[in-house]
Amino acid sequence: MRLRHIALLACTAFMLAGCNDTLETVERDVSHVKNKVDYPLSASILAEMDKKNMDRNAPIMIRIFKEEGKLEIWKAKRDNRFDVIASYDICAWSGKLGPKVKEGDRQAPEGFYNLTPGHLNPNSNYYLAINTGFPNRYDQANGRSGTNLMIHGACSSSGCYSMTDAQVLEIYGFARDAFKGGQKTVQLQALPFRMSAENMARHRKSEHSEFWKMLKVGYDNFEVTKRPPEVNVCEKKYVFNQQAEGGQFNAGAACPKMSTPPALASALQSYAKTYDVAYAKATNKLDGMVWYDPSEAERKALVAAKRKGREPAYAPTGSALKAGKLMKETEFAALMEKKAAKGISGQAATAMASASNPGATTAATVGTQQPAAARVAPTVMVVAAPVAPNQQQTAAAQSIPVPALNPLAFSAPPQPDDAQKKPFWKFWAKQ
């Protein structure tokens, strides 16, 4: 009996260790994997899916938070809402916060991207790779350029989101299984940070703040519904979950007349009230302060200092959240002048101008970058820890009608005439 008891304890410990290995960041040897393309997801991940009421081949969504260096895999549950199934520390990403603008700027993309089976690269020189889809329609309409921007292994980045080989093996497996289940496109949300009121207030003086406000509308739509938003581009701007009335979306042309599904509009407006209060409180707390966004070199230096000269198997670039800091406006302006004197211009000059104009961005301006027809509500409060949303958010999400089949993630059954498919917004109508 004693031996049996010890064996059970050992088995339990092994299972727990396996769960930690798959659901958290790991640096493990995968040299033994012969068929990496078809390498199955672990038993512990499959058990976690079952626990969360998910099918193995159900759709996924990928979410990146650049500042804290996190990549999350969200997966559809049987009620068609999405939940986190895995979270990884990004091993390396280059550049600073902000979108990729041109080839060679070392920036990792930010935005909403659609990934298809064709974006999977089983023959990558960096173990395995998934193309981010940059440039998308928004990027192209705004003249942004760049090629081969990937999520890949090897922990080395020049504009990519690089993982360890063990991590990308799992991420690739999640995408592979979802595509096998019939998912046509996987949405990638590459975001600068979790777009809470506190974080938006902390970055309110950034030169990228207007771009981020636009992304936040899509972010909020997902936080409210827990389903990937339908993304379109018009007037060179993103629009989310919008019904075009009597026109079509064209990235470079004027937006058609648009409307938001009533149930969704009501949910967004409810969250907007909470967000406005939280944003006003955060900006008041940060009055006279500016967030300093660290350079890639500063992030690397912080990692090197913590490792104290030890040669790691991988070379992570570190978290911008940990390497950055809040500074008084006068101190920030002096630092930017010092950098400008050393030949750092452009971004520094913009940041310095923002620092000298406190209060330029307020709660009243949040969400104003959407075309007028799309602005049905201000941006809304979000969950800082998406794995465990609070009761208010859960109740609000559940109050929104959900179709039997999620039109944004599952591939629809073949139909003789695509024009007869039920439009997205019809699924939101109250029965």
pLDDT tens profile 81-135: 999 999 999 999 999 999 999 999 999 999 999 999 999 999 999 999 999 999 9
DSSP letter for 375, please.
-
**How far, in Å, CA of 335 to CA of 329, rounded?**
10
**How far, in Å, CA of 154 to CA of 166, rounded?**
9
Residue the block writes with tokens 């302006």: 333
69: its two tokens: 């260096």
User: Could you say which of 91, 160, 234, 255 is catalytic?
Assistant: 160
Domains of the chain, residue spans? 43-341
Q: Which residues, 6+ apart, have CB-to-CB distance to 93 below 8 Å? A: 66, 69, 108, 157, 160, 161, 162, 317
**How far, in Å, CA of 372 to CA of 388, rounded?**
34
Sheet strands (E) in 5-123: 60-65, 70-76, 82-89, 92-93, 111-115, 120-121
**How far, in Å, CA of 420 to CA of 97, rounded?**
43
**How far, in Å, CA of 186 to CA of 61, rounded?**
6
**How far, in Å, CA of 300 to CA of 68, rounded?**
14
Fold category of 43-341 in CATH: L,D-transpeptidase catalytic domain-like (2.40.440)
CB atoms within 10 A of CB 431: 3
Residue pLDDT tens, the chain, 431 long: 444 444 444 433 333 333 333 333 445 789 899 999 999 999 999 999 999 999 999 999 999 999 999 999 999 999 999 999 999 999 999 999 999 999 999 999 999 999 999 999 999 999 999 999 999 999 999 999 999 999 999 998 788 999 999 999 999 999 999 999 999 999 999 999 999 999 999 999 999 999 999 999 999 999 999 999 999 999 999 999 999 998 899 999 999 999 999 999 999 999 999 999 999 999 999 999 999 999 999 998 888 887 765 555 667 888 899 999 999 999 999 988 888 887 754 444 444 444 434 333 333 333 333 333 333 333 332 223 333 334 444 444 444 433 333 333 333 333 333 333 444 333 343 32
Q: Are 358 and 329 in contact (CB under 8 A)?
A: yes
**How far, in Å, CA of 329 to CA of 354, rounded?**
9
Q: Are 386 and 84 in contact (CB under 8 A)?
A: yes
Mark whether 32 is an active-site residue: no
**How far, in Å, CA of 224 to CA of 268, rounded?**
7
Q: Are 366 and 274 in contact (CB under 8 A)?
A: no
What phi and psi, each to the nearest 5 degrees, are found at residue 397? -65, -40
**Closest listed residue to residue 104, CA positions, set 146, 157, 155:** 146
**Beta-strand pair 289-292/258-259:** unpaired
What phi and psi, each to the nearest 5 degrees, are found at residue 370? -80, 145
User: Could you say which of 91, 119, 152, 255 is catalytic?
Assistant: 152
**How far, in Å, CA of 373 to CA of 20, rounded?**
46
Question: Greatest CA separation found in the chain?
Answer: 76
- By three-state DSSP, how is residue 324 classified? coil
- Cα-based angle 223, 362, 94 (whole degrees, multiple of 5): 60
What residues does 309 pair with on adjacent strands? none
Mark whether 160 is an active-site residue: yes
Residue the block writes with tokens 């921007």: 149
From first CA to last CA, the distance across the chain in angstroms is 59
**How far, in Å, CA of 74 to CA of 112, rounded?**
15
Q: What DSSP assignment string belongs to 132-172?
A: ---S-HHHHHTT------EEESTT--SSSEE--HHHHHHHH
| Omega of the bond leading into 135 within 30 degrees of 0 (cis) | yes
**Beta-strand pair 161-162/150-152:** parallel
